[in-house]
Amino acid sequence: MEICINGRFQTGAAPALAITDKSYRYGDGLFETMKMQKGHLQRGPAHFDRLQRGMNLLGYDITSFPDPHTFTTFITELCRRNECLELGRVRLTVSAGNGGLFEDSQPNFSIECWPLTAAVETLNSTGLRLTICPGVRKSHDWLANLKSANYLPYAVAARYARHHEADDCIVLNTHDRIADTCIANIFMIRDGQIFTPSLTEAPVAGITRQYLLSRLPVIETPLSLTDLQQAQEVFVTNAINGLRWVAEIDGQSYTHQQTAEIFRKHMQTIAG
């Protein structure tokens, strides 16, 4: 497999990042996970817009940084080289550059891509099993909605999920309310109404989340564990898998009739 580092293509096995890279040293970076589908980046403009907003928020110097068109060219060429233009997962990572905490530097970027299987294009036949991570809490500061390279809360939650044979793990915020999961935004359905944690509840500002909010009457609100227990259906969303229904959370079961209809009307049309 090849990768792209600051516009240079090379084998993924070759050294790529400097030891002084700030994303490695401090977690000072951002990333976008995108789906390549039939030579087209799914919701590419929304991903690049989120990335630029994040870089501006973090104060990165982007005066000489590639624009979305240039990034798309790099990504398309890398997918061609790695034979995943038809269906692939793309990760674009941006770091604050090389150096110490008090040193200014130009951002670095890297691009990786992998082929995907057709399973990501259909609704999961077997519902996901989720658990809730104890101990870890996401703060409500202005960094909370970023797709940040500082991924420690989610890494800890993912290990907890693996150790408890779960597919994913719900992460709570500092008010013990629901934020999101390790790799997805979370939605619940109760009495026909759809709910998701508002951005003030510290979830990542997901692109698929944004897509569904523009098409469905979703109520953005704080959600407690009690709310989750009272739901009839739960589903999660991200850029790669689209929408996945949840069958169980720590022993509580859920159905997926309305979720399946949401997938059919709003996700299946962009999956193929």
- Amino acid letter for position 33: T
208 in the same domain as 83 = no
Closest C-alpha among 5, 31, 30, 28 to residue 16: 5
Phi, psi of 77 (to 5 degrees): -65, -40
pLDDT at 233 over 90: yes
In a domain, 123, yes or no: no
Asked which of 63, 81, 116 is the last residue of a domain, the reply is 116
Cβ atoms of 81 and 111 within 8 Å: the answer is no
Cβ atoms of 197 and 159 within 8 Å: the answer is no
- Provide the number of structural domains found in the chain: 2
Asked which of 116, 141, 165 is the last residue of a domain, the reply is 116
- Amino acid letter for position 229: Q
221 in the same domain as 140 = yes
70 in the same domain as 159 = no
Cβ atoms of 179 and 197 within 8 Å: the answer is yes
Who contacts 124 (Cβ-Cβ below 8 Å, separation ≥6)? 241, 244, 245
Query: Lowest-pLDDT range, 60-74, 102-116, 237-251, 257-271?
Result: 257-271
**Can you give the residue range of the structural domain that contains 244?**
128-271
Q: Tell me what pLDDT residue 267 has.
A: 85
Q: Tell me what pLDDT residue 184 has.
A: 98
157 in the same domain as 70 = no
In a domain, 202, yes or no: yes
Q: Tell me what pLDDT residue 272 has.
A: 39
pLDDT tens column, 41-92: 999 999 999 999 999 999 999 988 999 999 999 999 999 999 999 999 999 9
In a domain, 37, yes or no: yes
109 in the same domain as 135 = no
Concatenated DSSP letters of the chain: -EEEETTEEEETTS--S-TTBHHHHH--EEEEEEEEETTEETTHHHHHHHHHHHHHHHT---TTSPPHHHHHHHHHHHHHHTT-SSEEEEEEEEE--BS-TT---PPEEEEEEEE--GGGGS--SS-EEEEEEEEEEE--STTTTS-BS--HHHHHHHHHHHHTT-SEEEEEETTS-EEEESSSEEEEEETTEEEE--GGG-----HHHHHHHTTS-EEE----HHHHHH-SEEEEEETTTEEEEEEEETTEE-B-HHHHHHIIIIIHHHH-
CA distance 174 to 90: 32
Asked which of 55, 84, 116 is the last residue of a domain, the reply is 116
Instruction: Report the percentage of the chain scoring pLDDT > 90.
Output: 95
pLDDT tens column, 256-270: 999 999 999 988 755
135 in the same domain as 236 = yes
Instruction: Report the percentage of the chain scoring pLDDT > 70.
Output: 98
266 in the same domain as 132 = yes
Q: What does the mean pLDDT of the chain come to?
A: 96
Sorting pLDDT into bands at 50, 70 and 90, what band is 164?
very high
